[in-house]
Amino acid sequence: AVQAALQRAANGPVAVVGLAGSGPGVLCSTPAPPTAVPEGLGSSAALALAVLGEWVAASGAREVLLAAPRSFCAGVERAIEIVERALERFGPPVYVRRQIVHNQHVVAELEAKGAVFVEEVEEVPPGATVVLAAHGVAPAVREQAEARAGVVVDATCPLVAKVHREARRFAAEGRQVVLVGHADHEEVQGTVGEIEGRVQVVASPEEVAELPFGPEEPLAYLTQTTLALDETAEVLAALRARFPGIVGPSADDICYASQNRQDAVRALARRADLVVVVGSENSSNTARLVEVAQRSGCPAELVEDDGDLDPRWLAGRRRVGVTAGASAPERLVQAVVGALGSLGPLTVREVRTAEEHVRFTLPRKVR
């Protein structure tokens, strides 16, 4: 039976699924998998046949559009290098408060080199070396680290530090600050800590309507650096409409890398049948890329790595856009492209919307 099936499939790819203890293997060839489970097949064989059908539907020639820029930004590169240099200079273990950047693969790689990630400074042994993550911390956390650790290296992204300075300046002017962002994000918590008691966090136009300020209250706004531009614009429009006298920063708070990656995703969304975004679920800038693609009218999926690719997403989709959040390594992007290539002939083309040449100086303690 297998030999006859192989002869019938001679003109196309062949996949054979063998199940231990379940009798003869199930064979299927492209382009048409069996549409019904033969009578008498066990549940394991039926499941294998269904999975095989999904694989066949996802197979075929495909074009991949690679967003550029994508993957690491200057702030992420700086933060990772800070941990690596701290390990070289002070020796392991080096303790890092929270994830240095929001990516599981980056964290695992640094753990293998001797980094130890903790939730709070209290978990750091007295006199140890500690690195504060790229998302920034409240002054109270920094003071606690200085009192407990032997060496403290602050890896706060310079663009987040800019927002902190702006928050302090507005508070010194006697203004209440409206911070546009997600209250549970570490970056927002750090900014709130800079001017405790003088800041309100909002994430939507509806929340703007609930702010407790009167029309004459001196107000300023700031934004989380990793937000989506179009989403933030709606909130800022609501703020300006309700509080015409509100002032903002001299330069946009949303970081250049977030802007560039969102612009690149919009370019992909106009051409692709599907956009695959590589990054971790807890990465704000990565999640925004998925949302930007979807708001642009293109289906989009988030994957941690190539192991998360679902063949059901690919059925009938011959042009796939691929990008990565600013905290995801480029090697994960290439692994996703490789996985797509395993499903059939692949043409890869880069879609570049901006050039990036930003480089941030390292803290003096690890230069």
CA angle in degrees (0–180, nearest 5) for 173-135-114? 145
Give alpha helix (H) positions in the chain: 2-8, 43-58, 74-90, 104-113, 139-148, 158-172, 186-194, 205-208, 229-242, 256-269, 284-295, 311-314, 330-341
Within 10 Å of residue 316's Cβ, how many Cβ atoms? 9
64/147 Cα distance (integer angstroms): 51
Catalytic residues: 187
Burial class (CB within 10 angstroms; exposed 0-12, middle 13-18, buried 19+) of 263:
middle
Instruction: From residue 145, give the alpha-carbon distance in Å to each of 124, 164, 192, 332.
Output: 9, 18, 18, 33
CA atoms of 28 and 22, how far apart (whole Å)? 17
